Structure 1
Amino acid sequence: MKDAQKPDHISLNTLIGRLREGRYVIPDFQREFEWRPWDIRDLMRSIFLDYYIGSLLLWKGTKKNFDALSCEKIYGYSGSGSPEYIVLDGQQRLTAMHYAFLSPDRPLPNRANRFVYFIHIDKFAEEMFDEAFGYDSLSKRWSKLLKNREAQFADHIFPLSVMGAGSWDLPNWMQGYEQYWKDKAEQARAAGKADDAQAAKAHGVNAREFGEHLKGITEQYQISYIELDRDLEVDKVCDIFTQINSKGVRLDVFDLINALLKPKGLPLKHLWREAAPRLEFVDTEKMNVYILQVMSILRQSYCSPKYLYFLLPGQEKPVRDPDGTRRKEILVANIDEFRTRWTASVAALEKAITVLRHPQEFGAISSNYLPYVSILPVFAALQAHVDAVPAHRQLTAQRKIRHWYWASVFINRYSGSVESTSARDFLDMKAWIEDDAAEPALIADFASRFRTLDLRGETKRGTSVYNGIFNLLVLQGARDWMKGSVPQYGDLDDHHIVPASWGAKNIKGGLIHSILNRTPLTADTNRRVINEDLPNKYLPVLIRENGEPTVRAILETHFISAKAFATLLRDPFGPEDFEAFIAERQKTIQEAIENLLIKGRIDLPVQLRETDEQIEQIELGLRAEVVAALAGDARLLPPGLAQKVDERIGQALKKNAALDPEQFRPLERRLEYFDLRDVQEVMTGKALWPRFEARFANKDVVTGKFNQLAELRNSLRHSRSVDEITRKEGEAAVLWFSQVLSKPKPVAGASA
């Protein structure tokens, strides 16, 4: 029998050379190259971490075969080439390698720009593998960087295109990188900068180790392939290809861990079958992997497949300590410990799901309205972590988790590299729970970006923002339009306010389906109240039966303001009225996001939310008084307080490089970093009190009112329970300050 199949392997270096020479071609029946930028990045990560990337199926070609299958060059190849192999299986992987290593002058499919791929050597050396591999569009900055090796050395950026440039380019680059840091170390020593010299020396050591790793990968990393004989008939080859693509079953990390645990006497699939009914609320095929990820996050803070492997009982994990010392650690000692951790992770996920679906906690009343399934592992791990912190700190910790969760939802944080994001967020949130000053950057990012959300374009249930808005409507306590009560949440769905049938005839671009025109309603209300009628027909019926104040109050629980309510009643109601309605509702929802989430009032009862808003207005009014009394001169601030505020502004600048220090010079901007007690210190201090005396009259009275206001404010802002005395005294202080601030400013020289 003819030897039709020849299993073999090829080194990475040789494969790159063959890609450069154009030896691989793609038959016409293959699908187009369709990998996204991050898919290529993930393949590079697998290669450089010495992971198996699967086998290739190649057919040794002839001119007849090339013509018969209408073969084309690999995506991005521009040379004349010397075709040798037809790629039957592995086109996406080969093309991805060609794109990353050869850097062709062509954008990725469905992208406007070329992309470059690189390794952060410093992160690679620290074994931060989830963050070490990067990509970016070819901007002017990158064009300059790719032409400047010293800049690459200084930033520890290794462009993968170096590997495709030629046989001598890689060793020359690595030698140059190591020498660069040796020279830097010598220069620092000569200048007497011991710390800089030590850091440069460490970079030099990392450069040498990275060079050795690259040499090993290029020469020893093997890609397996099967080569079909050139004399096979085309019909047989096509049949082989069809069989591979119709019967191939993807092996995920759960299957792999299960296979590795079987010899140890632990049937992981049995554990999963027992756990599955407890977690079935969430519709995902990845829940079994999520359990392993929660285990991994809680044990080692990371959850990518590489780290899941270290959960195997008795498996040694290499660890590099901050001082550079390398050692090995066993994370899970035995089968019993694995079972215990598995059970704890299942319980953590079950609790997390319960919290997320609760209509007064996070509002994801149905799996269909869960903004992200992929956020579950880190959310569950954080909930489990909070259970272990001291009881008196758990309220504040939960408030911070809520803030992180909603920030993640509305900036689409979990739409990309989920595993590395989960690890980073878990570590950042642990630090913030321990230290108020360690607020993660995404909190400020959320606060600065939420008003730019395009809610008009959120027309499809399932997206993070769409579902997040629906969840907020549930949390708002959106009441039933017929009965006026909060309905049973299992019966709610996102129904149209202005009917879809009218929109199909009058509104272009699918805007009628925007979340701005949807709200939680029962099927019964949708059928019996709205049906196919416009609001100017069904709302008057409700008003006639229940009174306008009652109907308006109910619609306000759906983020429909008085102005939006009036717009819905317009008769006739046309496309311009619909535009006015959704514009007003977007404004109302954005204000609700700021009020509930940015300012953290979602944790407060409704009546205390109003009090908290009043306190905020008083604080703003008092800051305005300070600006006026000091004539905008920041130099008049007490020195100790000025220094404290400088430190706060400095911390903000470190967290957000986009901020400009110059914008904080005016007094009104500096006052944004004052708390209530700081304002009190300015107003009642001996040096500045005369500037405020005419308006506030008695310093002792002012001090007492500040104390009452601060006690209530701090209880609200730090999620502490508010007793009756604190509430009433605080409300009295609110009323006193409101009255004083509303009076006309006294004329200079007049008595109070």
Structure 2
Amino acid sequence: MSGTEPSLDTQPSADTYELGTLVPLAWEGKVRVPHFQRGFRWKSKDVLRLFDSIVRGYPIGNLLLWVRRSPADTIKLGNLEIDAPATDEAFWVVDGQQRLTSLANALSVEGNKHAPFNVVYDLKDEKFIEAPRNGLEAHQIDVPTLFNGRRLLSWFRTQGPNAEDYYDKAEVVSTKLRQYKVPAYLVRQDDLKILTDIFDRMNSHGRKLNRAEIFSALNSGIEEGFQDRLNFSTIADNVASETLFGTIDVNTVLAAFLARRGPDPTREIRGEMSRQAEFDEDEQTAYSQVQDALVRAVTFLIEEAGVPHIVMLPYRAQLVVLARFFAHFPSPGNNSLRLLRRLFWRLSVDGPTIFRGSFTTFSRTLCSRIKPGDEDGSLQALLNTTKGAVRSRPSLQQFRTNDASTRITLCSWWALRPRSLETGDPADLQSLSSLLGDEQTAALATPYVYPRLQGKKEREMRLAAANRLFIPFDEMRPTEMSRFLSMPRIDISAPLQEMILRSHLIGEQAVEALARDDRSEFLRVRQESIQSHLESFLGRMAEWDYEDTPTLDQMDLDDDEEELTEQDFDLSDDRLR
């Protein structure tokens, strides 16, 4: 080890804490979670397994606690909000956050009200369960009562089961919970860099943090004032709020952050803020600028490329590339936007054949084509990556909302501005965003026409695009969609009903098949309409047969020659735009 590398002045001290002592410390605000920690990730099954391990006497792992003087503060620990007093020795959790948060919440009367901390012990079956929605039975007891000896005795006297052996069982479990010993290492060190280095090394083994979480930990800065500093999560929230595009995952935000500062968004993240980048800036400026670049990239996707929400973005790598482009060229001209739109849709269709489905190759190759200060050259280099690509056709046979082909199809449907089945109003960003929120796919917006199909021929079409509608509205869905679509409406005019159906690619022939309940025919006809519309949409967006001509001011024209007129260059010709 080099003498310049940081190290601990003293080795961590080892101790053990009974849960009966440790958990009340958390309730008193003496256990705190550093801001560089990842958010709470555990599900109900993880919390239940933790309690089961404790009563079985299984080890649940060591804790690593950073002991430091801490000011008075209002802190969040899971669902608990605690007025924490100033203390000379607060325990900041470097490793063990999920376990301590689960215990502090599940064993608290207030925290136990909320999933995934709503843990109950079933005295009859002798196991921990989630609190039943319809209330506890006589032989089921919430773990805050089980954890407290006096409350446990009172519970049995007033409302517990009559069987005496139940009390004996409960007392045994209660004692095991209170007296369970948790090993802990205590680090007394004021240097935050050492703590984040320890955090990084610990999370390089076992269940790893993702890249964004590690980067945030390594570059977290001091604890005080962190609420006012940007990070990848707040950037994602801010972009979603400003654009209604949905929440971008933090790993994609990190990749965009790296792509903006250099051509390889997959590079090593350690030491990023100390290495030379394409922008001379401090960390918070870098965060602010990538947020601006992401807003411009998302605005392009919505307004130019026809992608209204992140759940309809074919590949996340495309957003990373766009963020780099808009970071270096924040105000591209109309022709550049058109070429960029061509590029986006050509890559959406042909990208997997070019880059063999690799996010790393896709993002690294394309980002390296973007040269600072050369907008037209960058666009031409990007478009050249698609030359000679084997053009594929998005599949309509398997409609899966997490699949790129389906997301492409949904974008083509969005171009029709599908109308509400209730009101006939066309969809807009607000209606789509209100329905999907932070959903990871568009499943909520794509109900089946026929949830159940009979016969081999019909069943083969159950998963096809023709058996789905795109309804980007938070409204009631008819229980029998096919019957609803075929029936005349008395609440709206016939022309409006026709407009509704056509916005969902249901033409006259398909309506007639619906009326006859000829399911196979309806699906066949609609599938043909969807295919035709998809090809037309992609043709308009990708413009495969057009020349990718640079802007006129980049063309080598001799100023001394006779001035050219509009008749010499027909500016309505798409090839010159």
The TM-score normalised by the length of structure 2 is 0.48
Greater helix share, 1 or 2?
1
Q: Which has the higher contact order (CA 8 A, sep 6+)?
A: 2
TM-score norm. by structure 1 comes to 0.38
Larger Rg: 1
